[in-house]
Each structure stands twice: as C-alpha cells, then as structure tokens.
Homo-oligomer: A and B are copies of this chain.
C-alpha cells in the first residue's frame, strides 16, 4: 500500500473520477475509438432555486480549479496500481493490462478547453466550456471538471445575491466551520469572486491574496467571566491587545444592558489614549432593532462612525429584511437610517458556503460531437423531457448588448456562423418550436464572443489570475445586467436563444437519432 498522503493525493487527483468514466474509456479502447476526436460541453440547466426565490443569473467560478487539476494530475502508479486491483463480478480483473498501459501513458494536457472566464455572469442553458480531445480522455475529465465548476459556481452565485442584497456594504464570509471540509477553501474563493468582501478563513484569504477578518467570539468573554474579570475586563483586555483594531462582540451577556455600555466605556478609554475604536458586532436577537439601539448608544457617546457588524444565520433574504426594517424603524429612535446602513457590515457564514436553500447546481457535461473523416458529427441524447435534450454540434456563444449597453441575450450558434455581421438575426427558443423572434442588427450595440481559450497545445492559456480579475469581470457584468434580471425576487428571465442554423441542426440530429435503435 502506498502511504496515506499519496493515496489522498490520488483520491483528489486522477481518482477523483466516477468509475463509469473508466469503464467507458476501456470500452472505447477495446473498440479502437478511444483516440477519436470528441467534443464535450459543460453547462447548467437551471438557476439555483432557493425555494423563496430563484436566481436570475449565475457567476462563473471553478475554471482555475479545472486548469490546475489538468496541469497537476495524471494516472500515476498509485492510481494504476489501485485500478489493477479491481475485479469484475466474475472475479476477473475489471481493467485489462493494455488499457491500463494506455491510461498510464495518456495525459489530460492533450485536451483543448475553451471556457467563459471566472467572474462572468452566466446563464442557464448556455455552453460554458467546450472540451475537445481524444474521446476516452475527454470522457474521463467529466467528473473532475463538474466537481470543480458545480460547487464553485453555486457559491459565487449565492455570494453575488448576498452582496447585491447588502446594498454595497461589506459582506464577510464566515462559513468555514460548517463548510464542506476541504471543499471550503474553493468555496471561499468562489464567494470572494462572487461578491464577498473578505473571509474569516485565514488559509483561504492567504490563497486569494485578501486580508482575513475576525476579532473575538463569545468564548473569550466567557473565559474572562469564569476568571472573575467580567465582560468589561474582557473588552479591556481586547483593547489592550488590539488598540487599533478594536471591534467588540457585545452579546455574550445582554446586548443593550451590558455589552453596549461596556463597549462604550472601553471605546472612550481607547480614544483618550489616542486610538480610534473600530466598532461592535451583534450576533443574536433582533439584529435590525439591536443595530438601531446600538447606533443610538454609540452616537450618544460620540462614536458616530464605528462599524456595526451583524452576523447569525444571515443570507440574502435576512439582509434584505434587516435593511428594510432599519429603513422603517430607525427614525423612530432618532437614528438616521441611511447613516446607520452606511456603517453596517454583514458576516455571512453557513448559508453562504453551503448555498442554503439550494445546495447544488444542475451542471452537466455532455458529448455534443465526434469527429469522423475530418468533420464534427453531432451527437445527441434524446430525453423524455425536451429541456434535457442536448443541443448537438460545434458551437459559438455570443452575448448581444442593446443600445443602452445592457446584455440583451446570450445566443448559441454554429461555429463559423457570422452572427455579428448579419443584418437580421432569427433567434429561436432552445426548446419551444413556436417561440422565435427576429432582431435587427441596428438594435444591437455590440456582439461579444464569450468563450475564451483556456487550455491549448498542452498548456494553460488563462491564469492563475489574481482574484481582482474575476472580481472585476463580475463588477463589469453586473453593471451591464438589466436591473430586472439582477433583482432578488422574481427576476426577469434572461433570453438564451439558438440561431436558426443551430436550431435546424438540433431538429435534424434528434430526428435521425430516433432511428438509432432500429439499426
């Protein structure tokens, strides 16, 4: 047996694979078609639906993980050794020696990958990545590619909803403790791409190159109380240790009767010593009400700009509710609502890193074409549900911007089609035969190609990027997204269409595939 570290590395590397990818690969190998050029696509079918509301868009994340995985992993001796030990139901070896020899020699680096870069706004039913290469190699990549994209795009999307809900105030990711074990680092990175301002998870902050955030928890106050020094003693100790970063958690005993008065006393002492205190954190109770009452006490004591961090079970809906309540109630306590909101920050933990309400994205990886005699033959799966029937063929993806500069539609067309140059564009609904419309080129300000080369000729074309790049893409795309699509509740449905040419190919391929079983 190889040592545990090596086994774990293999389990997150070449063996991060569903067994059926490998049995299919062996079948391709046995049939002599394993190196036939094939084309797969990655997309998701529908936006996360949190029950109370559904997202109107997603934020692409996970590409860096895919590229890194391709770069780092191959079927090494650890992986091959394990596969050699597997048996079929007749107790013979499941995998043959010639296949395992091929597997050990092949490289994921021989694949080619185009993808929509991280941070971009992306939509359901749109091709997000195209993968070409030897059939068996591209097949095996499926599990690892989906494992990277699915979770990270989901979390980036949730983070974007949270950030939008927070009206531009900082949102701090606090979720690692209830996050998915070692998946939390990737989830945190995705949250940072999607709109989280920072994170409490030190390692993820290091990897992303952002400053981690955090001050103290209840246990510090409890410890000081058990030692007879009380909450005030705890706050004074914190101020001594962090005079220039003093942010106090005020709800261990009683927020308004104990925490706030003690905090004000310590803040006053700090200011007298020439240090400006940072603020307070509220982690339980009626957060909007307590924020207003806290602002009241802080303002009265001359601490008018100190941050008030809110945390405890927050998500985009809770933040929306809190801000609405502050809008309505603050004035009644002599507190200016806008000024209070301007000093808020939100700690969003568990519900962000687990995408509470909808913990998975229905992303898929589908064979769309096989190359025969130098040209791509479309491949299709016909499903009982029309929306699950794969659109076949070699595609391009463009985004149309209207004369206001807002994204009007994403359009899938055939590779090589001149979409930008056409005077009129017939756009078909991906499924419904009766839904189509014609767009005048003059109504379109710009046609933007969305897929970019990510891995070609054995090497990375994209990244590793500093986190500011995907963050910048998101900011730019959000500004170009219709406010109706951006909104939290009942967003408009963003248009995703096929060109007439691609639509016709889909109809033809489905029809001829229907004959497949009659051969």
Which residue numbers of A lie inside 8 Å of B, CB to CB? 7-8, 10-13, 15-24, 26-28, 30-31, 33, 36, 38, 40, 51, 65, 82-83, 86-90, 92, 94, 135, 139, 142-143, 146-148, 150-152, 174, 176-187, 200-207, 211-223, 225-233, 237-238, 240-245, 251-255, 257-259, 261-262, 275, 278, 284-285, 350-351, 354-356, 359-363, 365-367, 369-370, 372, 377-385, 388, 390, 513-514, 516-519
Contacts and interface: CB of A to CB of B under 8 A. Distances in A.
Given A88-B244, A147-B181, 18 more contacts: A8-B207, A15-B202, A16-B176, A16-B185, A17-B203, A18-B177, A24-B217, A142-B177, A143-B177, A147-B179, A182-B183, A222-B379, A227-B372, A230-B518, A232-B517, A253-B382, A253-B514, A284-B384
Contact of A182 (B182, B225, B237): B182
Give the number of copies in the complex: 2
B215 A377 contact: no
Contacts of A390: 222
Greatest chain B CB density within 10 A among A181, A243, A379 is at A181
Interface centre among A10, A21, A361 (most CB of B within 10 A): A21
A460 to B, nearest CB: 13
Given A30-B240, A181-B65, A217 B379 contact: no
| In the complex, the 4 A-B pairs of residues with the closest C-beta atoms, listed nearest first | A183-B183, A11-B203, A19-B214, A90-B244
A356 B360 contact: yes
A267 to B, nearest CB: 14
Nearest to A313: B362
A13 B390 CA distance: 42
Given A206-B10, A360-B356, A30 B241 contact: yes
A388 B283 CA distance: 12
A16 B18 CA distance: 28
